[in-house]
Amino acid sequence: MTMRISTAQMHFNTLNALGTRQSEISKLAQQISSGVKLTRGEDDPVGMASALRLQHTLASLDQFDSNSAVLSNRLRSQETALSDAGDVLQRARDLTIQASNGILSESDLHSIAVEMRGLRSSLLQISNRDDGTGRMLFAGNRDGVAPFTDNNGGVIYLGDDGQNDVDVAPSVAVADTEPGSAVFLRVTTGDGISRAFAGAGNTGSGVLGSAQVINQAQWNGDTLQLRFTSPTDYEVVDGSGNPLAPPVAGAWTPGQAVTAQGVQFTVSGSPAAGDSFTLEKAPNQDIFTTLQNLIDALDSPGSTDADIARRSNALRAGQKDLVSAQDHLLDLRSSTGIRRAALDSSDASRSADGISLTETLSGLRDTDPVEAISQLQLSQAALDAAQQLMARIQRSSLFDLL
């Protein structure tokens, strides 16, 4: 069977070839100039879908980067604030030790109280710091309000207990700054296990040297009170004032250690009948109250033995509360450091993932200049050949065969 090809058919086929080559050349030229080879889904549906997924993932990494930068700044600000608060407490502790040496005049004690008030005011300012963008550090989820306000010697907390978890990587969240209630209000006192104090109505010169738990297995956490029935006799009672069973009582001499149910009391000086010293499970107390109690003790008038003993007992108790508060702030700084390290680790991981994803996306979407130029040259050569063929077809006729 003979297939006949007309001149018109050859002309049509050559025109189609010319159009195809010109389209290829135009597409390759666009890819080279723009640097992007994947612009339409119909060019490569599977590749386009993969590129879109990669772009979405990279966009989420950008959001994680932004979250991490904001959180890093807030945690850095918190760490600085906690360090500054620790310095305030250290100065307060130094002043308390100075005031406890027993040789200062009331005027000297008053001067120390004035500085202590300044320290309390500084601590209040630290508790109301923001992160530099207007968001409060220690207001919990109410970071648009100043969390602490002074109220006649007490402090009112206007924030809440909320603490956000911030997403900084896929399946990784890091806690934001601490709420102020956890930083400045819920602070253990004493040695963190128990707290001891002298009775407010004591009239003798007895000073509580120490009161501590020496046997955890024997102490059940209940309140115990060393009470003097006379200047030379004592008894130990429970928190309700009832004698222990079996009773713990006897004659007392200054400096004698009195032990009951795993707790040991040591008192010096000369207690009066009815004086008492109490040990209880360490309660929480806000740091501002700790400083205010010290200020009140320093400002308390009187130079009698009983006045001096009352002031000494208050300063000793306050000093232990300050130590506990310092430990509390150090624990928070440690926690903050751990979170900052987690952010650094997440940043490094995101950076590596971003580089890998960007390279993969580039392979799908971006033009390979060498390959594109090579294809452009081949298409241009094919176009030139098609144009030459078209010219020959246009010149051909039956007379060429005669």
Answer with the one of 259, 281, 303 that is the final residue of a domain. 281
Q: Are residues 354 and 239 part of one domain?
A: no
C-alpha dist (Å) from residue 5 to 8, 12, 150: 8, 11, 102
Residue 280 has, within 13 A of its CA and on its CB side, a CA count of 13
227 in Cβ contact with 239 (< 8 Å): no
User: Model confidence over 51-96: pLDDT tens digits?
Assistant: 567 667 667 778 888 999 999 999 999 999 999 999 999 999 999 9
User: Model confidence over 279-288: pLDDT tens digits?
Assistant: 999 999 999 9
Q: What whole-number percentage of the chain has pLDDT above 90?
A: 63
Residue 376 lies in a domain: no
Residue 30 lies in a domain: no
Q: Are residues 257 and 295 part of one domain?
A: no
Average pLDDT, the chain: 84
Residue 27 lies in a domain: no
Q: How many domains does the chain have?
A: 2
Answer with the one of 243, 260, 281 that is the final residue of a domain. 281
pLDDT category at 401 given cuts 50, 70, 90 is very low
Q: Are residues 225 and 143 part of one domain?
A: no
Report the predicted TM-score, pTM, of the whole model to 2 decimal places. Answer: 0.79
Q: Is the pLDDT of residue 198 over 70?
A: yes
Q: Are residues 205 and 157 part of one domain?
A: no
Q: Are residues 180 and 201 part of one domain?
A: no
- The helix or strand, by DSSP H or E, that contains position 197, with its residue range, turns out to be strand 194-198
Residue 7 lies in a domain: no
Across the range 99-108, mean pLDDT stands at: 87
Residue 46 lies in a domain: yes
**What is the C-alpha to C-alpha distance for residues 237 and 246, in angstroms, rounded to an integer?**
11
Residue 24 lies in a domain: no
Q: Are residues 158 and 302 part of one domain?
A: yes
Q: Are residues 296 and 153 part of one domain?
A: yes
The residue whose two tokens read 């008192």 is: 267
User: Angle 149-135-334 (CA atoms, 0-180°, nearest 5)?
Assistant: 85
Residue 28 lies in a domain: no
What residues contact residue 98 under an 8 Å CB cut-off, 6+ apart?
104, 112
Q: Which domain holds residue 207?
A: 195-281
The closest alpha carbon to 83, from 118, 129, 117, 145, belongs to 129
Q: Are residues 81 and 68 part of one domain?
A: yes
CATH of the domain at 164: 1.20.1330.10
Across the range 8-17, mean pLDDT stands at: 56
Q: Are residues 292 and 261 part of one domain?
A: no
β-sheet bridge partners, residue 284: 188
The closest alpha carbon to 28, from 385, 384, 379, belongs to 379
C-alpha dist (Å) from residue 159 to 77, 278, 384: 18, 34, 78
**What is the C-alpha to C-alpha distance for residues 253 and 268, in angstroms, rounded to an integer?**
9
Q: Are residues 186 and 239 part of one domain?
A: no
Q: Are residues 160 and 56 part of one domain?
A: yes
Q: Which tokens sit at 367?
A: 């033009």
Q: Which of 76-80, 104-108, 183-187 has the lowest mean pLDDT?
A: 104-108
User: Model confidence over 146-164: pLDDT tens digits?
Assistant: 999 998 878 999 999 999 9
Answer with the one of 231, 252, 281 that is the final residue of a domain. 281
Q: Is the pLDDT of residue 170 over 50?
A: yes
Q: Which tokens sit at 291?
A: 């400083």
Residue 355 lies in a domain: yes
Q: Are residues 167 and 64 part of one domain?
A: yes
Q: Is the pLDDT of residue 377 over 60?
A: no
Q: Is the pLDDT of residue 228 over 80?
A: yes
Q: What per-residue confidence (pLDDT) applies to 398?
A: 46
Alpha helices in 153-248 (DSSP H): 180
